[in-house]
Amino acid sequence: MEQQATLPPEVRALYSIIAEISSSRDEQALLDTMLKQLVTELPYKAATLRLLNEEEQVLELKAAYGLSQEYLSKGAVEVARSAMDQRALAGECVIIADMRSDDQVQYSQAASAEGLASTLVVPLRTRDRVIGVLRVYTAERQTFDHGEQALLEAVAALGGQAIMRARLYHAFEALASSINSRLELSSVLPTLLISMVQELHIKGGSIRLLGPTKRRLHLAAAYGLSQDYLHKGIVEVAQSPIDQRVLAGEVVAIEDVTTGGAFQYTAAADREGIRAVLVLPLRVQTQPIGVLRIYSGQVRRFSEEELAFACTAADLGAVAIENARLHEALKARLDSLREDTDGWYRFLGLG
C-alpha cells in the first residue's frame, strides 16, 4: 500500500481499476469503482458511463460520480440528438472545450447549471465494437492532452471487456437456473426467448422446431413479434437456404436483411421493422431439432461475446427442450398406465 501511494495519480487510478476488474463479477461495483477512481485521483469534477441501447438508440446511464440527481435526471441521451456521442460511438475521442455553448451537446443548459465546463468523451469498447461512452467533466475550461486521452481510452477498453464478461456471466447463470427449474415445454421456450431478448437488447425472437418429417419448421414459441409476422407463411426447409445451413450446424448472422437476398420473407420483415437476424441451431448431441432466431430493429453486427452467449444459450435451450419433451412423454405414459390400472380395478370390482 505504501508503494502504491508513491505512484503517480494516473497509475494509482489504473491500478485500482484493474484490481477491481480482476476480483469482481459485479458490474455495478466495477463501474462505481472505475468512476470514483478517475474523479478522486485525477483533476476531474465528475464522470459518467453510459451503455448503448441499440434497439432504442439511446445511451442509458449505468454509473455516475460527482453529479447531482437533478442533472442525472435531465432526460434521455438520444444518439440522434447528441453529435459528440455520435462521434464517440464511431470510435473517436471527443473533446468539448465549453459544454455550455457547444451545439454538439444535447443538454448544454443543464451542464451550465451543474457547473460543468469541459468534457472528454471516450468510446467504451469490447473487442470488435463500441458499446457505450465514458465521459469525464471539469469545472473549468480545460484542454485534454494526449496522455489523458490515452489513459481514458485504456480505462474504457478494460471496462468494456469487464462489463461484457460480467453481464454475460450473470445472464447465463440466471438463464441456466431459470430453464433448469422448468420441465414443461410451454414454460421452457418463452423463458429462453425472454432471457435472450432482454439480455441482448433486441426486438424479439422465435423458436421453430422440426416436424416428424423434418421438412417444415413449426412455430413453437415467439416473443416481441406481431401475429401478422408470425403467420407470414409456412417455413419449408427446402425453400429456406438459411435454415438449411443452420440445421447443418452453422450459425448465420444477417446484419441487414434488406441486402443480399438471403432472407426468405424480406417484405414481411420490413413491415415488422426487422433489420438484422441471428439464426442458431438447436441440436441434441448431433441431431438438429429446430432453429432459434433473434431479431433486431437496427442494422447490427453481433459481437463475439454476444455470439458466444447466444450459442451457449441455444445449446442449453436444446437440452432443456429435449428434457421437457421426455418429461411430457413420461407423464403421458404414466397417465395412460394410471387409467389402465383404474379400469382394471373397476372391472374387477364389477365382477
177 in a domain, yes or no? no
Whether 35 and 95 map to the same domain: the answer is yes
CA 282 to chain centre: 20
Grid cell 468534457 — which residue? 119
Whether 190 and 132 map to the same domain: the answer is no
Per-residue pLDDT at 43: 85
Among the three residues 143, 167, 191, which one is the final residue of a domain in this structure? 167
Query: Which residue from 260, 259, 329, 316 is spatially nearest to 283, judged by alpha carbons?
Result: 316
Per-residue pLDDT at 163: 78
CA 251 to chain centre: 18
274 in a domain, yes or no? yes
Whether 22 and 155 map to the same domain: the answer is yes
Per-residue pLDDT at 282: 92
d(CA 14, CA 343) in angstroms, rounded, equals 75
d(CA 321, CA 343) in angstroms, rounded, equals 33
Cell of 206: 422465435
Among the three residues 167, 201, 232, which one is the final residue of a domain in this structure? 167
Per-residue pLDDT at 21: 63
d(CA 89, CA 92) in angstroms, rounded, equals 7
Whether 190 and 335 map to the same domain: the answer is yes
pLDDT in tens, 313-339: 888 888 777 776 665 665 666 666 566
Cell of 173: 447463470
Grid cell 477498453 — which residue? 157
Whether 253 and 158 map to the same domain: the answer is no
Per-residue pLDDT at 115: 95
Q: What domain count does the chain have?
A: 2
d(CA 261, CA 274) in angstroms, rounded, equals 15
Spans in the chain with pLDDT lower than 70: 1-25, 127-128, 172, 174-186, 261, 324-351
DSSP helix/strand/coil, 209? strand
CB-CB contact of 254 with 262 (8 Å)? yes
User: Where residue 323 sits, what CATH number does that domain have?
Assistant: 3.30.450.40
Per-residue pLDDT at 97: 94
Among the three residues 137, 167, 197, which one is the final residue of a domain in this structure? 167
pLDDT in tens, 275-288: 999 999 998 888 89
29 in a domain, yes or no? yes
Whether 158 and 187 map to the same domain: the answer is no
Whether 160 and 235 map to the same domain: the answer is no
Whether 59 and 203 map to the same domain: the answer is no
- Phi and psi, residue 111, nearest 5°: -65, -40
Whether 152 and 270 map to the same domain: the answer is no
Query: Which residue from 106, 131, 127, 105 is spatially nearest to 118, judged by alpha carbons?
Result: 105
**CA atoms lying within 13 Å on the CB side of residue 223:** 22
Residue 314 belongs to domain spanning: 182-339
> How many Å from the N-terminal Cα to the C-terminal Cα in the chain?
90
23 in a domain, yes or no? yes
Query: Which residue from 215, 208, 216, 281 is spatially nearest to 248, judged by alpha carbons?
Result: 281
CB-CB contact of 214 with 243 (8 Å)? no
CB-CB contact of 293 with 279 (8 Å)? yes
Per-residue pLDDT at 85: 94
Q: Which residues of 130-151 are buried (b: 16+ CB within 10 A; e: fewer)?
A: bbbbbbbbbeeebebeeebeeb
